[in-house]
């Protein structure tokens, strides 16, 4: 999906275009401000630290840049009549800021996030003509942009606040016009550079090429580029250096001579280096497999400096790496590509060729693969395809259902074929492996693990032969390793790698599980376990959250393989977690350990049994809301499963009055989807919680994770035991029609078990796409009903920030008549805080009829009433009765806030009532002896010099002694204009 540049002068202003404009405003305003700050900070490091002096110093160079357009040139260097060279970047657009960062600052920080910001802008605002944006796309793109801006140094909370703001049509057109201008400038520069064959920033051009696996094509692509150049097909470059990172042990200069040049070359390293220095724009470095460079070699070489432009900044550099590897090293790259490689069609074609003598068998295998996600992921390259076919053939046209069993069968088939084809035929009885074969597999596992620890995917064959001795021959020839030679012309080194990284991960997990389950080697296995999960030494009490995060990214699938290979014998792993939980020193440490532990409980096939080990050691507060740790969608699903195991186990602990049972539950609902398997897991959690002992507090975060169609339609019962909870908090994101919307939450509060304290925070209420708009009176009715049904309720707080509607006949002003009546009759309720909007926003659409104003400059204008009086007499009466009748209420805060909103259809409500009703209310306030806090803010409007204002002033000046806080605020009822005018075309009519 792409947002667009504006193509019409008067855009139709709808919720969709408002969302698009809001995103554009964030992109232009916040993005520009952050890039401007980066430039200003860099200028302060210069000598002299003055932007004006730096611009004057480099005027000849900057003014001569072919891609500095006339407008930018005039901004930097105005003529005498227009002004002087600027000393501040305040008026620079983001395109000019970027140009100065690249040309003046050299190695400016945040180049990766800055490039992603530029790509985001061009990708989403450069191609289509509609500025409309759906709620789902808005949410996705807002989150994506937020991450980029935070990476640039932006404040996440401030960015989040912008989401609740509004933008008027004039501002919308301005933002889209600016984005269109920036996009066109980028394209002009791009075409100029393509035509001239110049680098994008007169500096280093770095490109990251990511391949999915060793055998999908990144190495072949690099060799093909080098070969094409040698054949004269890449005439753009005078010199191309193709260097394999796996063999890099020194500097780039050394590598060029070691890998590429013959021994009898007459050129010296210094001569070659001087040539590169003088012809940087004509030189291309192809660096293959940066992720294969060991940590030790990385520290000794200057290749990262080359990639990041610290040396030869005007050379062109192509780097290949596996996805998610070497992220920091590649932060300076400004283009990223992925090699797609082997497709599903390729896989199916291969299978049918393999079984050409048995088409029926081929069809069954293809169907089996398509129906199994694990199998679909495995057949991503030709060699894995062969292995699947081999197992299918050797196993009577059957494939195991579990991933671990499948890989076990693949290893067994490879071993059997090795024994059969070996010159010295090795007999096997059934599936029983020979001792020397098993020893070779163990050593392959050790090699796998040690490689993963060093982030190494290729291995030197000579070193394997030296290290593993008698088993090396079987290891190298069994069929799990592939061989190849380095590209070096001087030192031709033979290396090997596993068929696919998943085999290396599986073999490592197989090796460690074997150590852990063997009593004689368990200590060594447990050391590896701790390393895999990012835990410090067993003998210390230190806890390093960053180490856990690093290990999760480093080892990725290895822990999953470990649980699969351990199966029901995963006790050592969870014994380790239990021990760590007892050592944890802070609540934050316990929260992290608990999340990791419970997530892995949800992954193991023996979750119920393993929960018995860790449940007694878990803290009373559990949550899945952990930034960084909970970034993977699947982790949340597994966490729900693991939580179910824990609660099931803790029911027994609860019965024995064990104090370490769950008392506080915080759930981030963002990742809950409508997947049927996930619904089953949540249903199981609900059933488990139904007869669980009382949980003291339940907090639901980001309860607005999506629309009803894309999210699980769970109820509050899912997370609340049948016996109830002391405290329930619901935080709903704005801008969604939700499975836990305000309407849904209020409806369900009447049905859920006993709750003593309720807090609901709603970022914004929107119209319901599945039904008509609902007037606030319906929310008032539901809130009143919920209060009445919750007989043990002691406090309630409701906050609503904004109110959007499609129906001009509905109202968002908070009329609390029914709610106040239910409060007056409640026997336990002591604290009530209600923060509601005093204004609402009507969406423009062709269905809404606006009053016609007339023709202005040949344009038909319509009008909208932006101020409206609201009769609050019934509400004042119920408030008076409430204060008279309720003898337990201590705090009552009623606030109608005027939220800042520049939307043209923003309507402000002014509450009015007669002076007699107001006097009766104040009389009740003076007679009440139990209230300690009473705040009424924004319900009433009148001129500050009017008679009602005098009544209020008199009450406040004679505040009864029982009130710690008594405040009644009236808003001015005087305003300049009742109506606003705008072109009828904006409504789409």
Query: Which of 35, 52, 168, 54 has its CA nearest to residue 110?
Result: 35
Arithmetic mean of pLDDT, 528-542: 82
**With contact defined as beta carbons under 8 Å apart, do 671 and 705 qualify?**
yes
Q: What is the mean pLDDT of the chain?
A: 80
> Residue 9: CB partners within 8 Å, gap ≥ 6?
173
**With contact defined as beta carbons under 8 Å apart, do 918 and 950 qualify?**
no
Q: How confident is the model at residue 768 (pLDDT cuts 50, 70, 90)?
A: low
Please list the residues that pair with 320 across neighbouring strands.
209
- Measured between alpha carbons, how far is 599 from 299 in angstroms, rounded to an integer? 35
What length is written for the chain? 989
- Measured between alpha carbons, how far is 818 from 167 in angstroms, rounded to an integer? 34
Q: Which residue has the higher pLDDT, 903 or 599?
A: 599
Instruction: Break the chain into its structural domains and give their ranges.
Output: 15-196, 205-339, 830-989
Q: Mean pLDDT lowest for which of 549-558, 735-744, 838-847, 946-955? A: 735-744
Q: Mean pLDDT lowest for which of 174-178, 591-595, 614-618, 864-868? A: 174-178
Tell me: pLDDT of 705 over 50.
no
- Measured between alpha carbons, how far is 495 from 576 in angstroms, rounded to an integer? 37
Q: How confident is the model at residue 823 (pLDDT cuts 50, 70, 90)?
A: very high
What is the reported pLDDT for 424?
A: 57
What is the reported pLDDT for 211?
A: 44
CA 154: distance to chain centroid? 15
Helix (H) or strand (E) holding 938: strand 933-941
What is the reported pLDDT for 647?
A: 93
Arithmetic mean of pLDDT, 906-931: 90
Q: Which two tokens stand for residue 31?
A: 């993005």
The SS3 assignment for 356 reads coil
Query: Which of 968, 989, 710, 683 has its CA nearest to residue 847?
Result: 989
What is the reported pLDDT for 813?
A: 80
* Helices 676-690 + 633-655 axis angle, to 10: 20
Q: Mean pLDDT lowest for which of 173-187, 644-658, 846-860, 901-915? A: 173-187
- Measured between alpha carbons, how far is 989 from 984 in angstroms, rounded to an integer? 7
What is the reported pLDDT for 129?
A: 39
Tell me: pLDDT of 549 over 80.
yes
> Residue 369: CB partners within 8 Å, gap ≥ 6?
347, 351, 375, 376, 379, 388
- Measured between alpha carbons, how far is 629 from 631 in angstroms, rounded to an integer? 6
Tell me: pLDDT of 240 over 70.
yes
Q: Mean pLDDT lowest for which of 72-81, 121-130, 219-228, 455-464? A: 121-130
Percentage of the chain beyond pLDDT 90 is 26
Query: Which of 356, 471, 474, 484 has its CA nearest to residue 423?
Result: 474
> Residue 600: CB partners within 8 Å, gap ≥ 6?
559, 563, 573, 574, 577, 638, 642
Does pTM surpass 0.85?
no
What is the reported pLDDT for 706?
A: 42
Q: Mean pLDDT lowest for which of 31-40, 184-193, 255-264, 452-461? A: 184-193
Q: Mean pLDDT lowest for which of 218-232, 640-654, 858-872, 909-923? A: 218-232
**With contact defined as beta carbons under 8 Å apart, do 576 and 597 qualify?**
no
Q: How confident is the model at residue 976 (pLDDT cuts 50, 70, 90)?
A: low
What is the reported pLDDT for 414?
A: 87
- Sign of the alpha-carbon torsion through 108, 114, 118, 123: positive
**With contact defined as beta carbons under 8 Å apart, do 124 and 116 qualify?**
no
Reported as a single tens digit per residue, the pLDDT across 154-211 is: 888 888 878 766 555 555 455 445 555 544 544 444 443 333 333 332 334 455 544 4
Q: Which two tokens stand for residue 701?
A: 């975060």
Edge-to-edge strand ranges of the sheet holding 481-485:
458-460, 494-498, 481-485
Arithmetic mean of pLDDT, 599-621: 93
CA 61: distance to chain centroid? 41
Reported as a single tens digit per residue, the pLDDT across 710-734 is: 444 567 888 888 888 999 999 887 5
What is the reported pLDDT for 293?
A: 75
Arithmetic mean of pLDDT, 119-137: 61
Tell me: pLDDT of 110 over 50.
yes
Arithmetic mean of pLDDT, 296-321: 82
Tell me: pLDDT of 330 over 90.
no
Hey, which of 320-334, 771-785, 882-896 has the most confident mean pLDDT? 882-896
> Residue 795: CB partners within 8 Å, gap ≥ 6?
756, 757, 758, 829, 830, 831, 832
48 preceded by a cis bond (ω within 30 of 0): yes
Arithmetic mean of pLDDT, 279-305: 80
Q: Which residue has the higher pLDDT, 488 or 19?
A: 19
Which segments of 562-643 are extended strands (E)? Answer: 621-623
Edge-to-edge strand ranges of the sheet holding 725-732:
621-623, 664-668, 695-701, 725-732, 755-762, 795-800, 831-837, 891-897, 933-941, 965-971
Helices (H), 814-968: 817-824, 873-885, 915-927, 947-957
**With contact defined as beta carbons under 8 Å apart, do 494 and 459 qualify?**
no
Q: Mean pLDDT lowest for which of 256-270, 401-415, 489-503, 936-950? A: 256-270
- Measured between alpha carbons, how far is 930 from 934 in angstroms, rounded to an integer? 11
Q: What angle do CA 713, 715, 720 make, to 5 degrees?
A: 145
Burial profile 314-353: b = 16 or more Cβ within 10 angstroms, e = fewer: bbbbbbbbbeebbeebbbbbbebeebebbeeeebbebbbe
What is the reported pLDDT for 126?
A: 43
**With contact defined as beta carbons under 8 Å apart, do 252 and 303 qualify?**
yes
Tell me: pLDDT of 782 over 80.
yes
Q: How confident is the model at residue 593 (pLDDT cuts 50, 70, 90)?
A: very high
Tell me: pLDDT of 826 over 60.
yes
**With contact defined as beta carbons under 8 Å apart, do 450 and 223 qualify?**
no
Q: How confident is the model at residue 861 (pLDDT cuts 50, 70, 90)?
A: confident
Reported as a single tens digit per residue, the pLDDT across 488-508 is: 555 566 788 888 788 999 999
Q: Which two tokens stand for residue 336?
A: 């990223």
Q: How confident is the model at residue 708 (pLDDT cuts 50, 70, 90)?
A: very low
Tell me: pLDDT of 461 over 80.
yes
What is the reported pLDDT for 226?
A: 81
- Sign of the alpha-carbon torsion through 278, 280, 283, 285: positive
* Helices 111-125 + 169-196 axis angle, to 10: 110
Class of domain 205-339 (CATH, top level): alpha beta
- Measured between alpha carbons, how far is 24 from 177 in angstroms, rounded to an integer? 10
Tell me: pLDDT of 9 over 80.
no
Hey, which of 129-133, 261-265, 804-808 has the most confident mean pLDDT? 804-808
What is the reported pLDDT for 7?
A: 36
Tell me: pLDDT of 636 over 50.
yes
What is the reported pLDDT for 659?
A: 57
What is the reported pLDDT for 214?
A: 39
């Amino acid at each position: 999906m792409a947002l667009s540049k504006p193509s019409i002068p008067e855009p139709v202003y709808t919720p969709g275009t408002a969302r698009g404009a809001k995103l554009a405003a964030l992109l232009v305003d916040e993005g520009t401000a952050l890039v401007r700050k980066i430039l200003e900070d860099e200028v302060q490091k210069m000598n002299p630290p003055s932007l004006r002096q730096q611009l004057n110093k480099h005027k000849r160079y900057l003014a001569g840049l072919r891609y500095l357009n006339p407008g930018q040139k005039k901004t930097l260097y105005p003529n005498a009549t227009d002004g002087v060279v600027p000393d501040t970047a305040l008026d620079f657009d983001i395109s000019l800021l970027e140009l100065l960062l690249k040309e003046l600052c050299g190695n400016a920080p945040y180049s990766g996030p800055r490039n992603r910001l530029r790509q985001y802008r061009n990708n989403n605002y450069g191609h289509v003509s509609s500025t409309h944006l759906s709620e789902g796309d808005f949410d996705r793109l807002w989150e994506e942009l937020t991450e980029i801006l935070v990476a640039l140094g932006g404040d996440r909370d401030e960015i989040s606040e912008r989401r609740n703001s509004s933008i008027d049509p004039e501002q919308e057109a301005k933002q889209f016009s600016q984005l269109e201008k920036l996009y066109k400038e980028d394209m002009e520069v791009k075409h100029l550079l393509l035509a001239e064959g110049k680098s994008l920033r007169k500096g280093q051009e770095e490109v990251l090429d990511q391949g999915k696996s060793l055998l999908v094509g990144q190495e072949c692509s690099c060799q093909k580029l080098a070969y094409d150049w040698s054949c004269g097909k890449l005439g753009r470059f005078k010199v191309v250096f193709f260097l394999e990172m796996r063999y890099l042990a020194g500097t780039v200069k050394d590598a060029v001579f070691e890998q590429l040049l013959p021994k009898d070359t007459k050129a010296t390293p210094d001569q070659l280096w001087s040539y590169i220095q003088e012809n940087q724009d004509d030189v291309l470095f192809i660096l293959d497999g940066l992720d294969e460079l060991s940590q030790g070699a990385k520290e000794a070489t200057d290749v990262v400096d080359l990639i990041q432009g610290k040396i030869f900044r005007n050379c062109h550099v192509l780097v290949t790496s596996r996805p998610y590897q070497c992220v920091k090293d590649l932060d300076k790259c400004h283009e990223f590509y992925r090699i797609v490689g082997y497709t599903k069609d390729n896989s199916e074609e291969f299978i049918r060729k393999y079984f050409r003598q048995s088409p029926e068998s081929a069809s069954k295998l293809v169907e089996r693969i398509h129906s199994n996600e694990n199998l679909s992921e495995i057949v991503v390259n030709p060699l894995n395809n062969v292995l699947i076919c081999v197992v299918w053939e050797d196993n009577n046209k059957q494939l195991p259902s579990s991933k671990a069993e499948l890989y076990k069968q693949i290893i067994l088939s490879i071993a059997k074929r090795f024994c059969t084809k070996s010159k010295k035929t090795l007999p096997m009885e059934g599936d029983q492996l020979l001792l020397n074969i098993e020893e070779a597999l163990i050593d392959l596992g050790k090699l796998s693990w040690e490689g993963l620890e060093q982030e190494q995917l290729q291995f030197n064959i000579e070193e394997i032969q030296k290290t593993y001795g008698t088993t090396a021959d079987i290891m190298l020839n069994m069929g799990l390793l592939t061989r190849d030679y380095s590209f070096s012309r001087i030192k031709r080194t033979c290396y090997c790698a596993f068929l696919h990284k998943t085999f290396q991960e599986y073999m490592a997990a197989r090796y460690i599980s074997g150590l852990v389950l063997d009593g004689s080697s368990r200590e060594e296995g447990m050391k590896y376990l701790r390393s895999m999960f990012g835990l410090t030494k067993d003998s210390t009490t230190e806890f390093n959250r960053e180490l856990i995060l690093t290990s999760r990214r480093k080892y990725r699938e290895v822990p999953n393989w470990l649980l699969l290979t351990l199966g029901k014998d995963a006790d050592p792993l969870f014994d380790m977690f239990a021990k760590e939980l007892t050592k944890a020193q802070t609540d934050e440490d316990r929260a992290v350990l608990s999340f990791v532990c419970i997530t892995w409980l949800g992954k193991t096939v023996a979750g119920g049994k393993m929960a018995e080990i860790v449940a007694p050691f878990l803290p009373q507060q559990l949550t899945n809301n952990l930034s960084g740790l909970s970034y993977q969608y699947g982790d949340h699903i597994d966490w729900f499963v693991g939580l179910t195991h824990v609660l099931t186990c803790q029911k027994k602990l609860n019965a024995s009055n064990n104090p370490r049972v769950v008392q506080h539950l915080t759930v981030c609902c963002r990742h809950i989807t409508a997947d049927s398997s996930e619904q089953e897991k949540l249903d199981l959690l609900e059933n488990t919680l139904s007869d669980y002992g009382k949980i003291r507090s339940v907090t639901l975060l980001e309860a607005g994770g999506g629309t009803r169609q894309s999210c699980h339609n769970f109820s509050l019962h899912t997370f609340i035991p049948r016996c109830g909870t002391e405290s329930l908090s619901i935080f709903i994101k704005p801008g969604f029609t939700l499975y836990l919307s305000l309407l849904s939450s209020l409806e369900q509060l009447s049905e859920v078990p006993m709750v003593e304290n309720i807090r609901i925070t709603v970022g914004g209420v929107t119209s319901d796409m599945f039904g008509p708009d609902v007037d606030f009176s319906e929310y008032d009715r539901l809130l009143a009903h919920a209060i009445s049904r919750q007989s043990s309720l002691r406090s309630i707080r409701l906050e609503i920030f904004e109110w959007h509607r499609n129906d001009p006949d509905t109202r968002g002003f908070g009329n609390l008549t029914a709610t106040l009546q239910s409060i007056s009759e409640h026997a336990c309720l002591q604290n009530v805080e209600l923060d509601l909007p005093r204004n609402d926003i009507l969406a423009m659409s062709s269905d809404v009829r606006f009053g016609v104003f007339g023709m202005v400059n040949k344009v038909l204008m319509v009008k909208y009433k932006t101020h409206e009086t609201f009769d609050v007499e019934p509400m004042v009466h119920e408030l008076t009765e409430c204060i008279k009748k309720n003898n337990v209420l201590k705090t009552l805060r009623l606030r109608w806030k005027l939220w800042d909103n520049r939307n043209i259809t923003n309507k402000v409500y002014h509450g009015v009532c007669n002076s007699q009703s107001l006097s009766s209310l104040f009389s009740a306030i003076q007679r009440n002896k139990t209230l300690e806090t009473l705040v009424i803010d924004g319900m009433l409007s009148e001129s500050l010099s009017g008679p009602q204002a005098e009544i209020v002033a008199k009450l406040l000046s004679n505040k009864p002694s029982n009130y710690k806080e008594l405040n009644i605020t009236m808003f001015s009822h005087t305003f300049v204009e009742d109506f606003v005018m705008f072109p009828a075309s904006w409504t789409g009519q």
